[in-house]
Structure 1
Amino acid sequence: MYKIAKRIGDVILSFIGIILLSPFFLLIILFIKIDSKGPILFKQKRVGKNKKNFYILKFRTMKITTPKDMPTHLLENPESYITNAGKFLRKTSLDELPQVWNILIGDMSIVGPRPALWNQYDLIEERDRYGANNVLPGLTGLAQVSGRDELDIKEKAKIDGKYVSEIGLKMDLLCFLMTLISVIKKDGIIEGKKS
């Protein structure tokens, strides 16, 4: 029953979000276009519910010469690829805003495990152990507010599994509130390979 209510809530909140955020979208679009050449949106293949692939949307924060399908924290020198507009968008997490469309059309939920890249085979396999590939991925999730890029694969998958086993209104509200705090504090973001 909660899964139905959760989906209805996702549709309503994402629809309202698109309307309310549209002025900010226009400002961000102008910022991106003035700052660098390339498309406004960045599309990337991710793993969705039941391991069905979909394309996640983000505001483009990197140059068009950036290697494709590689997490930023694994790049040798990520700062050289990130645009000036991108630095601001990433620090404030505003680059994630287009995912309200992914939520509206049913690719994602507001809260759930963050969708893995299609080629993050180790994370996908580890999540299978906990059933974390069997729910809609989220804009934010328990692993996101428990360390984000600082977590290793096994720990991240285990936390995603904890979310799945305890999924409910209390867990979703906790993740959402902790996300607001993490965004303000800019917790757990790593750019470039971990030493």
Structure 2
Amino acid sequence: MTVLSNGPAPDLLRLMTYTVIGLVDEDADQPELLIAAIIEGEAATGEVTEHCGPDDRYARFCRQVPAASAEDAARQCHEQVAEEYECHAYPDWAATDQKLYQDFIFQFLSPNARAILAVLAQRPGRQYTGEQLAAITGMRNSKVVAGTFAHPGMLNFEVERTSFWSTGRAANGRCVYWLTDAQARLFRRSEEQDR
């Protein structure tokens, strides 16, 4: 498009705030941002759960970004998702990490996270669905279980370790959770020291 003007050139690079709302398909080979809406300005989003959809496949996404256009805001968010889900090869937790685990992970666990980990630590290697963990711990549903690990999950990256719990997909596609022997020992020792 050509803009004709006798006056000064328009400010084409003026940045505005855009709110980008969507879902991240975490089950795709390459996690993909599915944008539902781009709103000009800041939008109040209210409280949302961390995951949704069949078997908690999708992570909710809502970001406010400064951009020159809605298209630029979408591009930035696609790049952010690609970077955030980039594979980092952090080492697994080991017995020698007890102090690191105690100081930087265990002390920040919510009561819900501790309840879930206590169940998983009783039988290392046994896989539980979110629904099973919700029923055992008295939580409302599997979404609460999935959302419980949102904050602690970020702490793993702060200390450059893999997740201190294990997840996967059962044959029926449901998300399952478990602890390895090493993860269970770290949790149990931290629990004992905390008493």
* TM-score when normalising by structure 1: 0.26
Larger Rg: 2
Higher RCO (CA < 8 A, seq sep 6+) = 1
Whose strand fraction is larger, Structure 1's or Structure 2's? 2
* TM-score when normalising by structure 2: 0.26
